[in-house]
Amino acid sequence: MKTFIIGCLLIALTAAVSIASDEIPGSPQKQPILLFGGDVYTMSGDVIRGGQVLFENGKITAVGADINGQASSASVQRIDCTGKRVYPGLFNANSELGLIEIDAVRATRDQNEVGSINPNVRAEVGVNPDSELIPVARSNGILLSVTAPGGGLISGTSAVIQLDGWTWEDMTLKSPIGMHVQWPRMAPARAWWMRDTERQQNQKRDEALKQISQTIADARAYMTAKKARTPEEAGGSEARGSAPGLADAK
């Protein structure tokens, strides 16, 4: 009886693993592809009934009611989409996709870095290409996503990732997109779950604002000093392998 139960558990485990297998990224496009016969939703104009979409090297090159003239090459792969709808991939404008797998499991959360000032953090480096959430997003039409870090005051930079690729380098479409600042709450919260008094909340807000202002001032001062250096000074520091400003201090 025990052997039978163990055998059933192994079979169930094998089935679960096979169902949860990751999606295999697509190979680079080798030939032009023409979608025809479907209703094309352009998002910026009227729906093209029975329209056509041509794309090459992973990019759309033509859209219209009849673009056969632009797809006359014998190497074009034609896909009949009659009775179907063709629309652009959705763009997730702000997410933590690839940085969090299971919110309740600390080991799978990689969106927050230690400390409050982390302008050096790059979200794309922390993206997990094997995340089970990526195929789920793709199946719902999301093909591009802005993935952003969180936590602290200055969290780091976000990136646009495409939800297809073996590594985070493959998936990164553009980075950085912007620096993310977690602005403190300006008005004190009066909810039942807030343990700090209004005075304590205001003190923490003022400290956070001061820290953000000081960080921005330091960055501006560094940029001003860097621009003020002559090419000879910069070249001398680099030749000696010194960090900017250290050679001059000596």
| Phi, psi (rounded to 5 degrees) for 143 | -110, -20
Confidence (pLDDT) at 18: 43
DSSP secondary structure string for all residues of 67-136: -GGGG--TT-EEEE-TT-EE-PPEEEEEE-BTTBS-TT-GGGB-SB-SSSB-TT-BGGGG--TT-THHHH
- Is residue 51 exposed (0-12), middle (13-18) or buried (19+ Cβ within 10 Å)? buried
Residues facing 147 on adjacent strands: 95, 159
> Could you tell me which of 203, 195, 205, 93 has the C-alpha nearest to residue 144?
93
- Sign of the alpha-carbon dihedral angle for 195, 193, 183, 126: positive
What's the rounded Cα separation, in Å, for the pair 216 and 228?
A: 18
Report the C-alpha dihedral over residues 205, 207, 209, 214, rounded to 10 degrees: -170
Domains of the chain are 33-87 (2.30.40.10), 91-181 (no CATH), 183-250 (no CATH)
Given a cut of 80, whether residue 230 has pLDDT beyond it is no
Confidence (pLDDT) at 107: 86
Query: 99 or 26, which is more confident?
Result: 99
Cis peptide leading into residue 176 (ω within 30°): yes
What's the rounded Cα separation, in Å, for the pair 70 and 81?
A: 18
Q: What's the pLDDT band for 3 if we cut at 50, 70, 90? A: low
Mean local confidence (pLDDT), 185-214: 93
Given a cut of 60, whether residue 240 has pLDDT beyond it is no
DSSP secondary structure string for all residues of 78-90: EEE-TT-EE-PPE
Q: What's the pLDDT band for 13 if we cut at 50, 70, 90? A: very low
Q: What's the pLDDT band for 25 if we cut at 50, 70, 90? A: confident
DSSP state at residue 240:
T
Q: Rounded to two decimals, what is the model's pTM?
A: 0.72
Opening angle at CA 119, ends 113 and 121, nearest 5: 45
Cα–Cα distances in angstroms (integers) from residue 212 to residues 154, 157, 186, 188, 199, in the given order: 8, 16, 14, 19, 20
DSSP state at residue 175:
-
What's the rounded Cα separation, in Å, for the pair 14 and 214?
A: 55
Give 155-172 pLDDT, tens digit per residue: 999 999 999 999 999 999
Residue corresponding to tokens 């910026």:
44
End-to-end, the C-alpha distance of the chain in Å comes to 80
